[in-house]
Amino acid sequence: MNVDQLISSPDVEEDDRPAASRILSTLIEASPLAIVTFDPEGVVTMWNPAAERIFGWSENEALGTRLPFVPAEKQEEFLELRRRALLGEVFTEPELHRRRADGSPIVVSVSTSPLRRTDGTIYGIMSILMDVTAQRAAEESRARLTMAVEQAGECIVVTDTRGTIQYVNPAFERITGYEQMEVIGQNPRILKSGRHDAAFYRDMWRILLRGEIWRGTFLNKRKDGIHYEEDAVISPVRDPSGQVVNYVAVKRDVTDVRRMEEQLRQSQKMEAVGRLAGGVAHDFNNLLTAISGYSDLLLHRLPDYSTLRRDVEEIRKAGDRAAALTRQLLAFSRRQVLQPKVLDLNAVVTKTGEMLRRLMGENIELSTDLSPSLSRVKADPGQIEQVIVNLAVNAREAMPDGGRVTIATADAELSPSYAAAHPEVRPGPHVLLSVADTGQGMSDETQAHLFEPFFTTKERGIGSGLGLATVYGIVQQSGGHIRVNSTADRGSTFLVYLPRVETPEECAQGEDQPLLPHPSPGTETVLLAEDEEVVRRLAREILSGNGYKVLEAGNGREALLLSEAHRGEIHLLLTDVVMPKMSGRELGERIRLQRPDLRILYMSGYTDDAILRQGVLEDRVLLLQKPFTPEGLARKVREVLDSA
């Protein structure tokens, strides 16, 4: 049945038939929509020109056939729709997938009605179809774009040409804390932190108004007032005529990245300063050993009534002060000789408390908050006391009008994410030692330089700026991490994290140095190896002054030759650690082959990997630290010789 047959069906009133049929056939011919009819078996009974255009089959090809326009996977859905239509249902499907004559896919929206005879029985189906392929593709691509923008990690802001915000994505909400509805219609200046001057924004607008892309970094402020740093690219958006209609800003929060970079720079700087300080301290130790040692010898030899004694005592005192400074520098440069033990920090804090109370003075309250189930750490007890004292003294100095110092301990876990944000931190179980005060706090500027040696805000003569440098070095060398929280006028808290040790070894409490009687004189033979002449002479004088026989060598090789040539017994090798050609350790090892019973005492002002692994003394190694006093040397030599 073609169009004419349809129009001249017996249902149309005889009188109106010519006019009505002309209108109808015009409508069907001219319709931009495909209008097609099928018999109940799906055979095409009408196929208008729009259907030809949309599907690609001509009327001749289509009529009387069952066209393969339904893809196999849609067959079931199609049969169901046809069943519904043949039962008399009228319906619209907005999106059906069909195929064209050339096999290409097409998306159509379809309205379907049953065709009825006058008696109401259904003899076919009419479908009106619209090609929505392009429309759907456009919608999909827009949805994809929207999803991408909505889910981008970068903050995206679209403004009109006057800068009024028209769109922000969820990343913007996340980063700034503002909700979309709060900022649409606003100007991005709500994010201003006040840290850029007017010229900054003027330059930006000058570039944008020229139609160019602006790139730069904003120091902005979140809704909660916290500042953040973002790298931004702002591009003009043009309509098809080339007119700028919008600006789009794509911005990335780089606060963390910049902080990491800053921290890395900082730790590199500390490393370099540390190396320098360590080198200086090493040379100083030899000189100071001589200055102090000879002063002591001189004092020993001068009669009590000598007027020179006062002068020598002054030299001695200056030597002591210089030695104290050198010790701090060495601590900072992590070149100290540490003697770590498994420690209960609570015991160290309690033990130090007595002295601290005296240090704190009247108007400062000292309280402790110690975790009863504290884990152990491995550290040098004397050094940890030093850390506590230095932090407590700083706390006192930050509270000239009085206040409270709280020393607390607790187990703590440093998370991998925390470690990732702090380059020098190893994640894992730690013990936290904190010293908090209610003092004046410190500025960001002070915090940035806190741990550098010689950084002080105190008057000359009050602060040397080595307190925290020492603390820093000790903590680092102990494998720990130090951090500070401080707000101006509201006090500071220093947090020291030391790695937890899990194996319960016997626990030291920080040893008291007993006051020893003057060492008894000796008769034994000592082989002395030291490349620094002043130190060697001093040591020889001290030893022979105490009755020892001394064989003197300027380096390791000489010492070995002396040992081979010497017929009698040698009781002790006293050797410097860092020597050119042959280190003290190598000398020790080789001489032991000749004389297995020989005792060895090392002296060093400096940790050296050859003998001291990472600055940590191996348990069996006996060491005398430089600078030493005549009495210190004599005592240590006696001790080593007397120990079984």
Ligand X SMILES: Nc1ncnc2c1ncn2[C@@H]1O[C@H](COP(=O)(O)OP(=O)(O)OP(=O)(O)O)[C@@H](O)[C@H]1O
Cα 157 vs. chain centroid, distance in angstroms? 28
217 binds ligand X (CB under 6 A): no
Among 442, 482, 528, 574, binds ligand X (CB under 6 A): 442
Q: How many other C-beta atoms lie within 10 A of the C-beta of residue 582?
A: 17
Indicate the burial class of 377 (C-beta count within 10 angstroms; 0-12, 13-18, 19 or more). buried
Among 109, 255, 371, 464, binds ligand X (CB under 6 A): 464
CB within 8 Å of 433: residues ≥ 6 apart: 345, 349, 384, 387, 388, 407, 408, 409, 495, 496, 498
**Footprint of Mg ion on residues 378-397 (CB under 5 A)?**
394
Q: Distance between CA atoms of 336 and 297, rounded to whole angstroms?
A: 27
Q: Distance between CA atoms of 76 and 97, rounded to whole angstroms?
A: 12
Looking only at the bridges linking them, the beta strands covering 214-221 and 481-486 are unpaired
Radius of gyration of the chain (CA): 45
**C-alpha torsion 80→85→89→93, nearest 10:** 70
Whether 256 contacts 421, CB under 8 Å: yes
Residue with Cβ nearer ligand X (235 or 456): 456
Residue with Cβ nearer ligand X (213 or 448): 448
Question: x/- binding map, residues 41-80, to ligand X, per CB under 6 A?
Answer: ----------------------------------------
Q: Distance between CA atoms of 73 and 485, rounded to whole angstroms?
A: 66
Residue with Cβ nearer Mg ion (294 or 472): 472
457 binds ligand X (CB under 6 A): yes
**Footprint of Mg ion on residues 422-481 (CB under 5 A)?**
467
Question: What does residue 444 show for φ and ψ, rounded to 5 degrees?
Answer: -60, -40
How many angstroms separate the Cα of 300 from the Cα of each of 297, 306, 316, 515, 632? 5, 11, 12, 20, 14
Least CB distance from residue 453 to Mg ion, whole Å?
Answer: 12
Among 349, 395, 431, 637, binds ligand X (CB under 6 A): 395
Least CB distance from residue 300 to Mg ion, whole Å?
Answer: 35
Least CB distance from residue 325 to Mg ion, whole Å?
Answer: 13
**Footprint of Mg ion on residues 233-252 (CB under 5 A)?**
none
Among 96, 208, 469, 560, binds ligand X (CB under 6 A): 469
Torsion sign over Cα 163, 167, 170, 173: positive
Indicate the burial class of 237 (C-beta count within 10 angstroms; 0-12, 13-18, 19 or more). middle
Can the peptide bond before residue 627 be classed as cis, meaning omega within 30 degrees of 0?
A: yes
Residue with Cβ nearer ligand X (368 or 446): 446
Among 159, 220, 383, 492, binds ligand X (CB under 6 A): 492
Among 114, 188, 274, 439, binds ligand X (CB under 6 A): 439
Least CB distance from residue 399 to ligand X, whole Å?
Answer: 8
For residue 5, the surrounding DSSP H or E stretch is helix 3-7
Stretch that binds ligand X, among 159-167, 193-201, 213-221, 435-443 (CB under 6 A): 435-443
Question: What does residue 364 show for φ and ψ, rounded to 5 degrees?
Answer: -120, 125
Q: Distance between CA atoms of 497 and 413, rounded to whole angstroms?
A: 9
Least CB distance from residue 404 to ligand X, whole Å?
Answer: 12
Among 215, 458, 490, 613, binds ligand X (CB under 6 A): 458
Question: Residue 554: which of Mg ion, ligand X, none does it interact with, CB under 5 to 8 A by kind?
Answer: none
Question: Residue 556: which of ligand X, Mg ion, none does it interact with, CB under 5 to 8 A by kind?
Answer: none
Among 45, 289, 394, 478, binds ligand X (CB under 6 A): 394
326 binds ligand X (CB under 6 A): no
Question: Residue 353: which of ligand X, Mg ion, none does it interact with, CB under 5 to 8 A by kind?
Answer: none
Least CB distance from residue 595 to ligand X, whole Å?
Answer: 46
Question: Residue 466: which of Mg ion, ligand X, none does it interact with, CB under 5 to 8 A by kind?
Answer: ligand X
Q: Distance between CA atoms of 600 and 575, rounded to whole angstroms?
A: 8
Residue with Cβ nearer ligand X (329 or 374): 329
Q: What tokens appear for 330 in the block?
A: 């060495």
Least CB distance from residue 201 to ligand X, whole Å?
Answer: 36
Question: Residue 154: which of ligand X, Mg ion, none does it interact with, CB under 5 to 8 A by kind?
Answer: none
Question: Residue 456: which of Mg ion, ligand X, none does it interact with, CB under 5 to 8 A by kind?
Answer: ligand X
Binding site for Mg ion (CB under 5 A): 394, 467
Binding site for ligand X (CB under 6 A): 394-395, 398, 437, 439-442, 446, 450, 455-458, 463-469, 492
